[in-house]
Each structure stands twice: as structure tokens, then as C-alpha cells.
Amino acid sequence: MFTGSLVALVTPMDTKGNVDHVSLKKLVEYHIANGTSGIVSVGTTGESATLDHHEHIDVIKRTIDYADGRIAIIAGTGANATKEAIELTSRVENIGVVGCLTVAPYYNKPTQEGMYQHFKAIAESTALPQILYNVPGRTSSDIKPETVGRLAKIKNIVALKDATGDLSRVYPTRKLVGPDFKLLSGDDSTFLDFMILGGDGVISVTANVAAKAVATVCQLVVNNQIKEARSLNDTLMTLHHNLFIEPNPTPAKWACARLGLMQSATIRLPLVSLSTSSIPAVEQALKEANLL
């Protein structure tokens, strides 16, 4: 289920900062039409940090409604307080998501045992499949491969999104978790090599604007057409990099608006709109990816 190109979907907003439901529906249709395997709704790229709980759940529900069973929807339900993460998870239990993406606790910097107990408590509170999300650059906490291995023994913890960009982790993690546990890259620049080394797919920011290309790269790897996959991914490398030229999802939202996938690039404070000096770099990346 959790394989191939999964998009870390942006949450579109109108010029007043309210969620733009018309554009959200348009984005869902875009991903269905272009071969995306699944949508992660209200993860980091979906601005989970600045949506209140009502908005958070409403965006997920609307994404499910717009998808209408045509594409898998994964809910971002992580929090740095275990109780809050359990509450968010409980609110998506029976609305049609296929699983939850749960980020490592941020700011409070738990030990490995603390993280183990955190994810264990969440998993035991629900029947939904759980994807662990390791992104030390944002959280200041790192789920070590050994901890992932322990957590993989819990029945409904089924996958890891690894956004470290550290390819040396793929083999030891695979050895610890076994063949059925899914390993997903969370780093667009290295996802191709991550898959070649034994990963199962990617949760991608780049797929917001290059859905068909990212999905095709994933399928080419599955087909063992590595040369073709690398050739296509080479056209995306500048995009992989420049979509992070400023804090995510600022460049991705600008790019989505530039391509007409949503009406506005509005983003909530404390993030601000893409700076004038960065616009040419993102536009050039879109051109190199044959999107403009």
C-alpha cells in the first residue's frame, strides 16, 4: 500500500489565509490524473504547524471527499505531545484514511526510549497503520535505526519516512525491519538512490508540481530500468534542490501557483511568501523539469 510516489501535499490558501477548497480539489484531481500513488494530507508541507485542529481535520476530510476512493489518503497526525497525537489519530480513525504519518516529537528532544514509548502508545490507541516520520533537521530528534527496528515489531507500525538524506541508513534499517516493512524516502534529492538501495518509494515535495515525472521515476526503478530512471530524475534535480531554497513549503506553494495548480501562493506566518530574489531560481527549475 505505501509504495511509489506519495505526495506531501501543500494546503492551498486564499489571499486572506483561509483554506482554499476549490484549489484543494484541483490538486487532488491533478494527482489522480498524473499517477501519484497516495496523498499525505496535512503533513509538514501541508502546514500542520499553523492549522488549528478544526482546520487540520477538515482539510483531511475534504481531501478524502474529493478523492472519492480514487487515491489513497494518509493523514498527518503527529505532535510532540503523545496525548495530542493520540487525539488527532482518533479523529481520523473512521473517516477513510489508509494510515497516519506520525512525526518524531519535536522541540522536547526525547531519548530513544521516549520515542519508542511515544510511537508505541499511539499505535496501541488505533487500528490504523502508522508511518514513522524521521526528520531531524526539523525536530532535533532522530529515530535511530535500532529504534525503528523495535517499533517495526508492533503490528500496525508498517513504514518509515526517512528524511535524513543519509543513504548509509537504508541497508541497516532494512536488515532490522525485515522485507515487509516499507521504507520511504523523505528527501527528494536522494530518493532515487534510496529506492535503488532497497527503499519502496518516496513521500515527495517535488511531486506537488512534477507528479507524473516523480511517479514515473518510481515505476522505472521498480521495473529495474535504472538508466532511464536516472535520466528522468536528472531533469528534476534542480527542482529537488530549489524547492528548498527557502523553508518548505514556501517555494512549493509558489511553484504550484505559477503552474496554475492553485489560485494563490499564500502561506501562513511565521513563514512568508517567496522572496523576489528566489523566484528566478524556482522558475528556472520548473523550466529544466519541462514544466514551463
Confidence of residue 61 (pLDDT cuts 50, 70, 90): very high
Give me the sign of the Cα torsion angle 284, 287, 291, 292: positive
Q: Which residues on adjacent β-strands are paired with residue 132?
A: 102, 160
The strand ranges marked E within the chain are 4-8, 38-41, 72-76, 99-103, 130-134, 157-162, 182-185, 201-204
- What is the tens place of the pLDDT at every residue in 32-50? 999 999 999 999 999 999 9
Q: How far apart are CA 108 and CA 221, in angstroms?
A: 38
pLDDT at 80: 93
Q: Does the pLDDT at position 18 exceed 90?
A: yes
Residue 88: partners with Cβ closer than 8 Å, 6 or more residues away: 53, 56, 57, 75, 77, 78, 79
pLDDT at 1: 79
* % of the chain residues with pLDDT over 90: 100
pTM: 0.97
Q: Looking up cell 527557502, which residue turns up?
A: 246
Confidence of residue 269 (pLDDT cuts 50, 70, 90): very high
Q: Does the pLDDT at position 76 exceed 90?
A: yes
Name the residues annotated as catalytic: 133, 161
* % of the chain residues with pLDDT over 70: 100
Mean pLDDT, rounded, of the chain: 97
- What is the tens place of the pLDDT at every residue in 97-148? 999 999 999 999 999 999 999 999 999 999 999 999 999 999 999 999 999 9
Cell numbers for 149: 527496528
- What is the tens place of the pLDDT at every residue in 219-228? 999 999 999 9
Question: Once rounded to an integer, what is the mean pLDDT over residues 63-70?
Answer: 98
Q: Does the pLDDT at position 202 exceed 90?
A: yes
pLDDT at 43: 96
pLDDT at 177: 98
pLDDT at 200: 98
| Residue 267 assigned ligand-binding role | no
Torsion angle in degrees (nearest 10) through CA of 156, 159, 164, 170: 130
Question: Once rounded to an integer, what is the mean pLDDT over residues 208-228?
Answer: 98
| Residue 147 assigned ligand-binding role | no
Selected from 3.20.20.70, 3.40.50.620, 3.40.50.300, 3.40.50.2300, the CATH number assigned to the domain covering 4-223 reads: 3.20.20.70
Q: Could you tell me if 91 and 117 are in contact, meaning their C-beta atoms sit under 8 angstroms apart?
A: no
pLDDT at 205: 98
Confidence of residue 240 (pLDDT cuts 50, 70, 90): very high
pLDDT at 128: 98
Domains of the chain by residue range = 4-223
Q: Does the pLDDT at position 11 exceed 90?
A: yes
Q: How far apart are CA 176 and CA 132, in angstroms?
A: 15
Q: Which helix (H) or strand (E) holds 219?
A: helix 211-222
